[in-house]
Amino acid sequence: MSLTFATDDGWIVSHLNYINNIYTNIADGSAPCSLEFNSEFFDINTKYLRQNQIQNVDSCSSSSSSSSSSCFSSARNVENDGKTSSTRDIKIRKRKRHLTKELSRADCEQMKYIQRSLAKLLSNAKECGHFADGVKADNNKAARLVSQRFYTESFHQQVENLYGCNKSERAIISDTGNERYVFPERCSFYCYDIRQIGNKMEMTNQFDFILLDPPWWNKSIRRKKNKCTEASYAMMYNEELAKIPIAKLLSSNGIVAVWCTNAPSHLRSISNEMFPTWGVSYQAKWYWIKVTRSGETVCDFNPPPGKQPYELLLLGSVSSNTSIDIPDGKLVVSVPSAVHSHKPPLTELIKSYLPMNPNCLEIFARYLLPGWTSWGLEVLKFQHLSLYSIVQEATNEAEKNSNN
């Protein structure tokens, strides 16, 4: 449903196809229908530009290089200023520079690996007809506009302190809080703060797979919150995330996957705090590569710690389970949504490592999945009916008119 191409290096997935496929048979009152998600969210035609670059495309490359050089220049200035500090400060700075150098070396090796693997995967995919030619270079105008509208409208549609489920074998459209939403088959959701999970959900080690997309604390979202409340979200410190009772929710053969930014502090927290606290051992790291509709990365690969066109997915399994062997270094390539943290589905990619009919949970979810339990304050964010077009009813009406 989402998997469109696969090689030894990884997969190409279509988030848009996945959404549309799970809503092909919907109960809306007495009339069945199908839904199509607004494709403009995935209308990513060109590389991402900063807001001040959108009006001046021609200066994009020079602006990027100057910002990069100014960044390195600032770092050198900080080091030079340290020469006037006390001996203790100098030692601290040296240790930090050494650690940064080691991290940068590892990051550079990781980046080279991703670039090589991505080049092979994309070459094979294009030979098989994947990715569009002649995509209009419009600075992703439609995607930017629809995402801006989405942030404003979804902010005013927020639902909290709510539990719901759809136990039927088909998706349904239903009213919740005077708004209309679509609910996939056999789903359940908890729209509560994560700190309440022990009070709202049974802690009976029932989930075979738990996926987390944590609201990592970062400066970018903090700046967004100051400028635009609608486009921000409530962040959590790493110490708080480690306290989520994953060990009580995960089955004896369970797998955990955590979406993570490229920030070294978050990666260290997962390896050194979260996984050990949850009774989980590290298994693998996958890379979500974001590309345009023509197969170009959404931004250039930059010297660490610069912005990259990929995010990380760290996978672990219950420490006592030695039978699971998840391959390391896989690429998950997709055209991203224009909305921040609207992650691609992993259902088809992870199923071969899970039992038949697995019990799956997503924490900090932003949309619902068939057969899954979802938890999060924004769990209905992409379920609002205004984001979809009803297509089957219109088709049936056209057929009736042609028959007459």
Token duo for residue 374? 């979802």
For the cut 90, the answer to whether the pLDDT of residue 271 exceeds it is: yes
Residues in the chain: 404
State mean pLDDT over 334-348. Answer: 95
State mean pLDDT over 56-83. Answer: 39
Using DSSP, state whether 33 is helix, strand or coil: strand
CB-based contacts of 115, cutoff 8 Å, min separation 6 = 301
Top-confidence residue, 342 or 178: 342
For the cut 60, the answer to whether the pLDDT of residue 70 exceeds it is: no
- Judged on CB neighbours under 10 Å (0-12, 13-18, 19+), 225 is middle
Q: What is the pLDDT of residue 73?
A: 35
Question: pLDDT, tens digit, for every residue of 122-131?
Answer: 999 999 999 9
Question: pLDDT, tens digit, for every residue of 300-339?
Answer: 999 887 889 999 999 999 988 888 899 999 999 999 999 9
82: pLDDT confidence band, cut at 50, 70 and 90?
Answer: very low
Token duo for residue 139? 């600075």
CA distance 190 to 332: 28
Q: What is the pLDDT of residue 12?
A: 98
Phi, psi at 366, each rounded to 5°: -120, -5
For the cut 60, the answer to whether the pLDDT of residue 17 exceeds it is: yes
Lowest mean pLDDT among 210-224, 292-306, 316-330: 210-224
Q: What structural domains does the chain harbor?
A: 3-44+135-390 (3.40.50.150)
State mean pLDDT over 228-245. Answer: 78
Token duo for residue 29? 């009152």
> Which residue in this structure is represented by tokens 């709510």?
162
Lowest mean pLDDT among 17-26, 286-295, 300-309: 300-309
State mean pLDDT over 357-381. Answer: 96
Type of residue numbered 308: Q
Top-confidence residue, 143 or 62: 143
CA distance 276 to 274: 6
Q: What is the pLDDT of residue 134?
A: 75
Q: Which helix (H) or strand (E) holds 142?
A: helix 141-155
Instruction: Give the torsion sign (CA, 314, 315, 318, 320).
Output: negative
Top-confidence residue, 393 or 166: 166
